[in-house]
Structures are given as C-alpha cells and as structure tokens.
Amino acid sequence: MTGPLLPSDPSSIGGHRLLGRLGAGGMGVVYLGRTESGGLVAVKVIQADFAADSDFRTRFRREVQAARRVSSPWAVAVTGADPEADEPWLATAFVPGPSLAEAVGRCGPLPVRSVRVLGRMLAEALREVHAQGLVHRDVKPGNVLLAVDGPRLIDFGISRSADDTVITSADVVVGTPGFLSPEQAQTAGGPPGPASDVFSLGCLLAYAATGRPPFGTGTADALLYRTVHDEPDLDGVGPGLLDVLRSCLAKDPARRPVPERLAAELVEDAPRGSVDWLPEEVVRLIADRSAELLALPDIEPTVAEPSDATGPTESARQEERPSRRRLLALTGGAVLLAAGAGTATWAALRGGGEDDRTAGPRPWAIGVQADLSGGSGAAGRAQEQGARLAVEQFNRRAGRPFELALRTADDGGVPARAAAGAKRMAADRDVLAVLGPTTDDTALAVLGSYDEALLPLLCVSAGGLNLAAQEYRSFLHCRPSDAAVSVPLAVYLAASGAAGPVGVLQDRTGEQYAWESAQITASMLRLYELPLYPRVVPAGTENLRPVVADMLRAGVGSFVYAGDPAGAARVAKELAATGFSKPRLAPQAVLDPVFTREAGAAADGWVVAASFTDPAALPAAKAFTTAFRERYGSPPGYYAAEAYDTANLVIGELVKAAKAKKGGRPSRQELVGLLRRSTHQGVTKRFSFKPEDGSFAGQGVFFHTVENGAFRFLGRAPAPPA
C-alpha cells in the first residue's frame, strides 16, 4: 500500500518521478516511482547520515552489485541505482502484491499444493542466486512478495559472495531470528553457504503451511538457541510436504537438498503466469493491491481493447465486470484495464467510496467496532459506552453544526466476524470514522478493509507491533504500542537500585505479546547496563516452580514477568512462597481480574504498566466519571475514558472541517489527514500522531499496583531520559 509524499520528500530521484511512499524505516524510505517510459518501480533511498559511513556505503554498493547479478523470473529485477549519490538509491521493478507474511497473517496458512508451488519457484530463484556465487542470507516471509504471475524474492541487502570479507563484527548475527540457519545462529561457526538459504526456505515454507515459525516466537536469544538445539515444530504440515521440509531443516548443512533437487521434488502442475495455485482469498488480496494502482496520481489506465465513442453504460459495465482471477489473467500483472471499465472496476474492488455530490443532507456518524459479547467484552463494552457518552454530550450542545449518530458492530472478538463487520461499516457511506477493534487479532483482520475504503480507523486498545508492520493510509494508533508500554519497567528498575540481576521470564503462552514485552524490557535493561537473567518457558507450562527457583538461585534482585495473567498468578505465588518481596513487575496483559483472583495475597506489591488509566482515580477525569455514573449507573471500566477522549478527538476535527467547508462534511480521506495532524488534550492524556503513518506520538503509559487484592492507579509511568 502507498502513502502520500511528505513535503520534505523529493519529487524525483534518478529520473524517476515519485508517486508515493511504500514504506519508511530507520535507514531510509522506499518510494513508488515511475520511469520516463511509464514503468513502475520501487526506489529505495538511504539517508545521508548512513551514507556518510564508509562501511555502510560499501555494503550498499555490494547490495546493488549482488542484486544486478541475479536474473530469475522469481527474483525482483534491478532497474537502476546510484550507490555513489549523496543519498544512495536502488530502483527495482515494482511488485503490486502483499508479502507472504501479510498474506498468511490475513488469510491463514496455505494449502499443501500452494506451498509446494511456492517452494518450487523460490527454489528456482535460489538456484540462480547461488549460481552467481551469492548467498541471500535473509530468506523470510517478509522478503517474498506475491504477484499475479508468481512470487518474487526481494532484498539482497545482506547477500554476499563466498569470498567477500564480512563487514560486521564477529559476534553479530546477520539475518532474521526464526528464519535463519543454525550456522547463522552460531556466529563462531564460519560464514554461511548456500545450504543456509535452503534451511531458511524450509522455515519459510513451514510458516506458509502452518501460519507459525517452526522454531516459535520469543526473544532473539531464545530463537537462536532453539534453531541450533531444538527440532522444528511441523505439526499440521500435510503429507506430500513433511519429508521435504524435514530435509530442508536438517541441522547438518550437508544433509539439505540443493535448490535444483528441491525444485524437482516440489514439481506441481501450475502453469507460469497462473494464479490458480493460490487460495481465492489470497488472489483477492493480490487483486485488490493491483487495483489500488489505478488510484495513484498520473497513472492512466491503458486501453486493452477498443471501445466505441460513447462507451458502455454503467449497468453494462457492472454486468461485464470480471472476477478478480479474470482481471489478473487479463492484466498479466500490469493492471491494464479498458479505459471504459477501469474506474468502475476500481470502485468495485475498493469499496466504500465517497460521493459528496449526493443530493440532500446526509447524517454524520462515527462507528465503534468492538467485542461486545466475547472474551474481551468488558473492554469492548467500556469503549462503546465511552464513545456513546461523548456523542450524546455533543448532541446536547447548543449551536452544534450537525447531529451525530453512533453506529456499532459487535465482532465478538472473532477475526472472521470482525472482517465482515468492517465491510458493513465501510459500506455505510455516512460513517466518517471508526473506533476499534478491541484486540490485535480483530484489528489485523480489518485493517485492510478500512484502508481500502480510506475510512479512518482509530485503535483504542489493540497495541501489538504487528499493527505497524505495514504502512496503512487510514490507521491511527491512539495508544502507545505494547512494546512502548514495557519501556518504563526498565526505567523503574534502573531507579530502584535493586541489587542482583533482573530476572526476565517470557512465558510463550502469551505468544507475540509476551515476546514483544520481554524483548523491549531486555533491550532497555541492556541500555541501562543492568545485569540480566532471562528465561523462556514453553507455551502451556503449568508448573513454573523450577524456572522460578532457577532464577532465584541466580540471585535476581527484581523480577519481570511477560505473559498472561494466569501465568503471572502462578509466578506470584511461587515468589511469595519463598518470601521474595523485591520489585516485581509486569506489562499490561497482567492488569486483569484473573491475576488478582488467582494470585490472592501473593499479588500485592506487583507493579503493572498499562496504556490506560483508572478514570475514577484521575482528577482530570472527575467530570467524565460523574457523567458516566449518571448515564450507566456504574463506574467506568478500563478504556472507557480513552474511548471517550478518542471520540471527542474525532468530533473536534469534524467540527473544524464543518466550519471550513461552511457546513459541508469532509470526505473520509480528508478526515484522515486532519486527524493525523491533530492534537487533543483529553481527560486521560494528550493525543498526537506521526502524520506519515498515524502512529501514536504522545506519552500515555501509566503504572498500577496491587493493594489488598485490588489494582490501584499510581499515575503516569516514568519516561526514559531524552
């Protein structure tokens, strides 16, 4: 997906006209560009600060040389580069499709035949890479893009020849933990060879087949250890694929198949250029991404067949509109649509379009998509109540410029229901912004739908880093990420002066959340030069006594648990049984009645970081708390005040837009821009965002503690020094 260019962005680079942003990171920006001949390219531009480093420039020059040497239909082609420019750049053919990571994350694991076809084509790409004397060294789902005519292996940034001098220190692991080989994980084991890429390909195919990495998730250290010592988790891999993956994932490089043999073992009947080997949902995702190109500036539809001067009627175009598979077969990956049908097809694929020319006044509405009836229903209902209170208060204002409605969608915390609810919400042309959903899983299920409709989505409670793994055009994150919420734990411990190493226990029952929390805590502790004693336990571990005993024997002077509230309760009881009363901390997931109920008195004294407040204990929220009690007959739950603030943020920007447009309502796209540039002082915190991606730019982490079996709000958590 593309985002708009920022005022600081150049209009062209190396003869490429820039059309939008494909992504941005710490090292630079990737733009969507257009060549003088009209072709689309991805232009990777490195920041001048990095280019000033001679070693970095040498690595970038090597990336260009490596990528240019690879010629394969399944590897992205280099179209231009200037590694000597003040800001070095590299242009490659643009692939208008999702990454394998996104496709599996959104659509689920691929069937066996799809994985075999994918494996064959990627094995052929690696055969060409290795034939040029190169080793890719970062074969992972994020580095495989799915196009209409097959996958593309991208990012040769750390590829190198067998005789290259390694431009990294001896103890640096190059690659992505969880998708690298044992020889890469063992930095003293010598440089990885071509067999290393085969191992990584095996990890990638296992992920495609099961939806999870074969060595699990967790801290980098834990992943590296399991890669070297543990057998891969291949449960759920179907017949016809299991033996192939086992051979690819052999610990001994000599026992792995070479790409030529692997490609031969994975032969499937999938004609080149066909998408029939992919599930319908993935094909639809590829089609939607391809169709988005029609909305980019100055990309004019190419006439694929002649039409008469008048052209078909709109009803005729509706009848002739092809299926996504047919559309892709006709376009051949270049998104070539007949001029007469291009706009109609784009509108059908995109959905949720605005048309301010509709006669007569239309109601203004904001939506709340939340879990109102499932396992996270308490948080979802609190958000709906907070947003509704804000809307009702606005509608009682004298002289208000419009009446505001609230629309709700109960997804029950189920991703499939969430996706259907998002489509219904997006199809309601009167809904101008949506708050929600409640959980990470449901948020990931709906981000694409809201983005297609350019409908602002403001997440109040979902907080995983995976929400920011891709740049969305209409997303606003109204809270710090889960990782950011864990940062103050290390700040607190650095100020506490506790003796001994900090024990950090990652419970894999907490899945991605536990990994993020443990990883950022460990990183911050190292930044503060505090000694660390990390441990990881498998998911579902009931008896935590041995690991707690081991950590106490190591002399830990404080304890951080990253996992779920039930696991935290077990840890709390084990620590209490030994009389351990030194600092005990946990991230937000533990702030749950399950923890205090199951831990009992052992929970007292624990400190928990969270992205939400207790409005009943917050002086600035006194008026809100009073109004909430009057409206609902009970005190506000967690996230009610945050949703109230978020709704008022939206209302404030709608009022400004109405004044600027003399009573006219803004389009959804206009509202996205207004919201991303806005600031709002709510009763809980100050809201602000990074305009380029909608990520939260304010401070909003709070500490709670447990006293007499109940959580007590302590206030704002300490921030790291600037």
What is the pLDDT at residue 722?
63
3-state helix, strand, coil in the chain (%, to 5): 45, 15, 40
The domains spanning 1-94 and 483-610+704-716 adopt the same CATH topology: no
One of 53, 138, 269, 440 is an active-site residue; which one? Answer: 138
3-state secondary structure of 159: coil
Query: What is the secondary structure of 111-151 as a DSSP string?
Result: PHHHHHHHHHHHHHHHHHHHHTTEE-----GGGEEEETTEE
Query: What is the secondary structure of 436-486 as a DSSP string?
Result: --SSHHHHHHHHHHHHHTT--EEESS---GGGGSS--SSEEE-S--HHHHH
Cα(354)–Cα(342) distance, integer angstroms? 17
Cα(60)–Cα(264) distance, integer angstroms? 34
Element (H, E) at 565: helix 565-577
Q: Which two tokens stand for residue 347?
A: 């509108």
Phi, psi of 272 (to 5 degrees): -60, 135
Please name the residue ranges forming H helices in 528-632: 545-553, 565-577, 593-599, 622-632
Q: Which two tokens stand for residue 672?
A: 């996205």
3-state secondary structure of 104: helix
Q: Which two tokens stand for residue 193?
A: 């060879």
What is the pLDDT at residue 173?
44
What is the pLDDT at residue 176?
77
User: Could you count the other beta carbons within 10 Å of the beta carbon of residue 472?
Assistant: 19
Q: Cα dist. 111→148, 268, 441 in Å?
A: 18, 13, 21
138 given a catalytic annotation: yes
Query: Which class in CATH covers the domain with range 1-94?
Result: alpha beta
The amino acid occupying position 342 is G
What is the pLDDT at residue 291?
67
Q: Cα dist. 243→115, 179, 207, 277, 622 in Å?
A: 13, 19, 15, 21, 63
Cα(466)–Cα(326) distance, integer angstroms? 32
Q: Which two tokens stand for residue 168?
A: 């990294």
Q: Shortest CA distance to 303 belongs to which of 336, 348, 349, 327?
A: 336
Q: Which two tokens stand for residue 568?
A: 């935290």
Q: How many residues does the chain have?
A: 722
Name the CA dihedral angle for 497, 500, 501, 506, rounded to a multiple of 10 degrees. Answer: -90
Question: Which residue carries 């401070």 as its tokens?
Answer: 699
Locate the domains of the chain by residue range.
1-94, 290-345, 364-480+618-689, 483-610+704-716
What is the pLDDT at residue 337?
27
Please name the residue ranges forming H helices in 132-193: 182-185
Rg over CA atoms, the chain: 27
Cα(397)–Cα(403) distance, integer angstroms? 10
User: Could you count the other beta carbons within 10 Å of the beta carbon of residue 347?
Assistant: 17
Give the angle subtended at the CA of 688 by the CAs of 684 and 692, to the nearest 5°: 150
What is the pLDDT at residue 57?
82
Half-sphere exposure of 77 (CA within 13 A, CB side): 7
Query: What is the secondary structure of 277-329 as a DSSP string?
Result: TS-HHHHHHHHHHHHHGGGSTT-PPPPSS---SS---HHHHHHHPPPHHHHHH
272-277 CB contacts, 8 Å cutoff, 24+ apart: 272/73, 272/149, 272/150, 273/148, 273/149, 273/150, 273/332, 274/149, 274/329, 275/148, 275/149, 275/325, 275/328, 275/329, 276/325, 277/113, 277/114, 277/117, 277/118
Contact 427, 668 (CB under 8 A): no
3-state secondary structure of 598: helix
Cα(703)–Cα(695) distance, integer angstroms? 22
Contact 605, 584 (CB under 8 A): yes
Can you state the angle between helices 280-292 and 324-331, rounded to 10 degrees?
60
Residue 212 exposed, middle or buried by CB count within 10 Å (0-12, 13-18, 19+): middle
Q: Shortest CA distance to 78 belongs to which of 141, 165, 149, 157?
A: 157
Cα(225)–Cα(683) distance, integer angstroms? 46
User: Could you count the other beta carbons within 10 Å of the beta carbon of residue 552?
Assistant: 17
Residue 334 exposed, middle or buried by CB count within 10 Å (0-12, 13-18, 19+): middle
Per DSSP bridges, beta strands 364-370 and 78-82 are unpaired
Phi, psi of 103 (to 5 degrees): -60, -45
- CATH architecture for segment(s) 483-610+704-716: 3-Layer(aba) Sandwich (3.40)
Give the angle subtended at the CA of 113 by the CAs of 109 and 116, to the nearest 5°: 90
Residues of the chain with pLDDT under 50: 157-174, 294, 297-360
In sequence order, what are the residues at sequence separation of 6 or more whose Cβ sits closer than 8 angstroms to the Cβ of residue 243? none
User: Could you count the other beta carbons within 10 Å of the beta carbon of residue 468?
Assistant: 17
Q: What is the DSSP letter of 720?
A: P
Q: Does the domain formed by 364-480+618-689 have CATH 3.30.300.90?
A: no
**With the C-alpha atoms ordered 256, 258, 264, 267, is the resulting torsion angle positive or negative?**
positive
Sheet holding 404-410, edge to edge: 404-410, 364-370, 431-435, 457-459, 475-477
Cα(259)–Cα(679) distance, integer angstroms? 54
